[in-house]
Chain A
Amino acid sequence: MSVLETPRIYFSGQLAWDPIVTNNYSQYYDEATSETVFPTVINKVAAFRKEAIDAVVGGNWNPQGTHRSNFFETEISGANLGAGDIQSDPFIGSPAIFMGMLVDLEPYGTFTSQLFFDAMSFGIAGGYQIAAPRNSRITSRYINFNRCKFGARAGIASVVWQTCFAKADGLRIDAFDSPVLQALKKSLVADDVLGLTVQFNTYRTIYYNDPVNKTPDLIPSAKALTAKLNGGGWQPNPARSMVVGVIGLWRVGEPVNEPCDRTLITGPDDPPSAPTVSSLHARLTGDSITLALSNTISEDGLDLVKHDFDELTVVAIDPTTNKPVTLASFGYDKYDTAAYLKSSGIVTLPVDPKIATMAATADLQLRNASGQVLQAEAALRALPLTPNLYMNEGDTQNVQFQVYDRGVAAGAGIPVTICVMSADAGTVESTFVLTTAADGTMSFEVQGTQGSITPYIALPGPDPTQPTQGLDPQVNTFAYVRVLSADADIAKLPPTFENVYCRVLANWNAMAPCMDNWLNLGDEAQVRSFGPLIKKLTNEAAFEHFRYMPVTRDLTPGARTLLYNFLDSPPAAVSERMESAAPEEKPAHFAKLSRNMRS
């Protein structure tokens, strides 16, 4: 099942990230109220923009981003049809084409990055091609802060991204004479195949297009950007990552947004953090095991040479003897940089069928040559079917998890402890226990009582270890819920431009200077002239679309009502620019420090 079965197709290249990051900081943005935290001065938008620029050297590395994120220099790099990796298909070399909007559900944190997009394609129209419209936004999981310890800022991390495309919803494969695409197309015919899964790993993120080892080394570049920003114009500063990915089958029962195969997470021997062997997924068949090492083996430096851990071994703990039995061992040549790029970190190894039979119900471990357990299987995993859920205050929504037992949907009666975490995911605030239904799912209602961000960690099985040190994305599975304030008071305001600017548009105008490229949000006439388009882009029904506005998905119902009331109203005889108006009284937020990865 999943991208670990065949046929599968590999791609590799780079990805540019251009998010606005000013809202990562509590002194500039309130993630509970979804409002910009303005300085208390007359010209609050201009002052805010200046503050955002002044904060560049301190870590606010892209105040004029767009959130757009795209593959570049990314192409099909190989495939596997079940008889080993191949590099000879005519589809290989075709471009991977993707543009999405990078948005974090929790602006202050790093666990809920998402890519909103409309379509993805590999190859080109008229030629070899896989193309499909969005079925679900792409979600990140298993962020690995130990992957690239040599990097600066959040460049130390790597992340697994995943989405799926439904064959019944516009998925197109133009195979021509490509055996790889022909095989993939043929495999899609099976009734239990829903479509394709696309999973990729991003790593070695660099900032200012400047690969350096330490964050302080970025200061000269940050100062140069500050000078550009102060000089005017539009000065984005995208980061960029390396990417390896895989396209495979999406079968019935498999989750859309994260891997569901057998999962090996941090083991009992607590391996060192750097260099490190991090979590991995595995698929065991009757005579082989396929390992997804895309997010697992750390590199030693900016030259991206994989660390040599010597021989690694997959063992199964025989339940009858409680002793390890070797399934397969593999050397550095299977996971070095060349191998990693060739097959996106996916390694298939032969296994004795008898041992494979035993291992089907035994815990797997990945060990090094001295027998140290680097990663150990967590048989039960509760994966969120609603990984990043947005809702409005006053609404009730279901948060649903599917429990898997060694990569297969589990059945009834499995207890699942839900840890309700603090907004920063650092503290368990409460817990409750649910039990899976016959299909292995369980769900619970969440009521939106106020603007908030709440992580829910799901711990399947009896007597789980609670995350007392906070959420560990390498270990825990989780769902996040963001409740947008109702802002009923804003909805009731008279629909004047003054009100709509102060309470709605100024937030965007301050936080997203790139809007200047399209529209002067402080100009009533322009805003009105674009009224139909603004309504179209801010419509809740367009929430998943690439061009939804605001890109940060934090428009509250009350703010939307005021905006629409204004756009639907006749123009006022005289409108005044809001920049000259006295700002609203707003609480100051200076106490919180942004989280480590944001500074």
Chain B
Amino acid sequence: MIRLQWKPLSTVDDAWAMLQTAIGVEFGTLPPYLYAMLSIPPGENVAAAGRIKSVLLQEMIHMCLACNILNALGGDPVLTPPVYPGPLPGDIGPPGGKPLIIHLLPFSKDAMAQGMNIEQPEDPPDFPIVTMLEAAPPSAVTIGQFYTALDQFLATLPASAWIPNRNQIDDSQFFAGQLFPINGYADAHQAISDIVSEGEGTPNSPLDFQNEIAHYYRFGECFHDLVLTKADNPLGYQWGPQKLGIDWSDVYPAIPDPGTHDFSNDPPAAQAAQAACNQAYSQMVDALQQAMTGSAGQLGIAVRAMFDLRMAADVALKTKLADPSLVAGPSFLCPPPTNPGASS
């Protein structure tokens, strides 16, 4: 479970910092989910690939919504590519424990368990928010609780704290109905509610606000290879009996954490494939950075780069390493953004 540091918020600067952490967390989930999805060959494990893809797309939306909120408060989002293996931004781990180290894993039970760990809601889900706001010392909270605390603080801000139409990304081109501008607290509250609901479900239900399965449970379906099914029991649901039909062997033999792999001993084709992946990833991050800070047209350029990354990954995942039984997916390595914002 991701546990994020939370401190009592008292200024807009505090909210900026918290939102920047949120953006980092949402961004940080994309490469591991993408790595797992890309490692499934086309036409294989369709049900699982579909579930991972659906989560991935919603995480992209969550990142955009978090950027929209920060922009509306006058901040400038910074997209800092995470390093894998490594913790997500702000993860301080449970009390007495260590942060969750996120790996790039090919599709596997471990990868699905990692997804569940990232998305796992607190148990019980109705964490007493009032207690959190009153707590003076830093505390560790789940992603959902983190957002809830942020939402509570944003509710206290005066209307003048919000800057309408500042660097907002809407759904004109992508994600119809799911991506909307933030022009005030009501919009921010809606965005945060959507993010939490899609990630963790609603209290006492695995369904999100759209009556679809929340992320944690979509990964759970893959992990258990069972469809989460309505049931006549106190919890209302059970795993199965319908299976997803996962074949864990229908996966490219991709190494984990390619960013830690030394490709210098691998065939030139493998090195070139990695370079192409990193180039596309860098272009994507650069364009996203610009899109989130006022250049809306760059979003289309980022999406194109995302497709380039997919193509490059497809090549990489079919290119043998020095050990011919192995391949590598994208390492998700790129230089830091050249145009950092002011809110970090």
Q: Which residues of A contact B (CB under 8 A)?
A: 14, 16, 70, 72-73, 75, 93-95, 123-128, 174, 176, 208-209, 227-228, 231-238, 240, 516-518, 533
Contacts and interface: CB of A to CB of B under 8 A. Distances in A.
B9 interface: no
Contacts of B248: none
B250 interface: no
Interface string B204-245: 000100111100000001000001111000000100001000
Given A73-B177, A235-B297, 7 more contacts: A16-B176, A72-B178, A174-B230, A176-B230, A209-B172, A233-B301, A234-B307
Interface string B295-317: 01111111111010001000000
B176 A126 contact: no
Nearest to A516: B304
A576 to B, nearest CB: 22
B187 interface: no
A73 B173 CA distance: 16
Interface of B: 42, 170-174, 176-178, 207, 210-213, 221, 227-230, 237, 242, 287, 296-305, 307, 311
A126 B213 CA distance: 9
B209 to A, nearest CB: 10
A20 to B, nearest CB: 14
A482 B123 CA distance: 60
Contacts of B174: 236
B108 to A, nearest CB: 22
A511 to B, nearest CB: 18
A236 B175 CA distance: 11
Given A228-B297, A235-B300, A518-B307, A124 B213 contact: yes
Contacts of B229: 126-127
A515 B294 CA distance: 27
A94 B297 contact: no
B300 A234 contact: yes
Given A72-B176, A72-B178, A209 B303 contact: no
Contacts of A232: 300-301, 304
Most chain A CB within a 10 A radius of its CB, from B171, B212, B237, B304: B304
Contacts, number: 86
A177 to B, nearest CB: 8
Which of B176, B178, B213, B300 neighbours the largest number of chain A CB atoms within 10 Å of its CB?
A: B176
A517 B177 contact: no
Nearest to A227: B297
Contact of B211 (A94, A125, A209, A518): A94
Contact of B304 (A128, A176, A209, A233): A233
A366 B300 CA distance: 50
A19 B298 CA distance: 22
B39 to A, nearest CB: 19
Nearest to B231: A176
Contacts of B287: 233
B148 to A, nearest CB: 23
A233 B297 contact: yes
Nearest to A232: B301
Contact of A125 (B170, B227, B297, B302): B227
A234 B176 contact: no
A73 B301 CA distance: 27
Contacts of B171: 209
B303 A14 contact: no
Contacts of A517: 303-304, 307
A236 B307 CA distance: 14
User: Would you list the 8 A-B pairs with minimal beta carbon distance, nearest first?
Assistant: A233-B301, A72-B177, A233-B300, A517-B307, A16-B176, A228-B297, A235-B300, A209-B172
A536 to B, nearest CB: 10
Residue of A73, A232, A234, A518 with most partner-chain B CB within 10 A: A234
Contact of A240 (B176, B210, B227, B228): B176
Contacts of B210: 75, 95
Q: Which of A94, A127, A235 has the largest count of B CB atoms less than 10 A from its CB?
A: A127
Nearest to B305: A233
B14 to A, nearest CB: 33
B176 A14 contact: yes
Nearest to B42: A533
Contacts of A125: 227, 242
Given A124-B211, A233-B302, A517-B307, A238 B176 contact: yes
8 contacts: A14-B176, A75-B211, A126-B229, A126-B230, A228-B300, A236-B300, A516-B304, A518-B307
A518 B304 CA distance: 10
Contacts of A234: 300-301, 303-304, 307
Nearest to B308: A517
Residue of B170, B287, B302, B303 with most partner-chain A CB within 10 A: B303
Contacts of B211: 75, 93-95, 123-124, 127
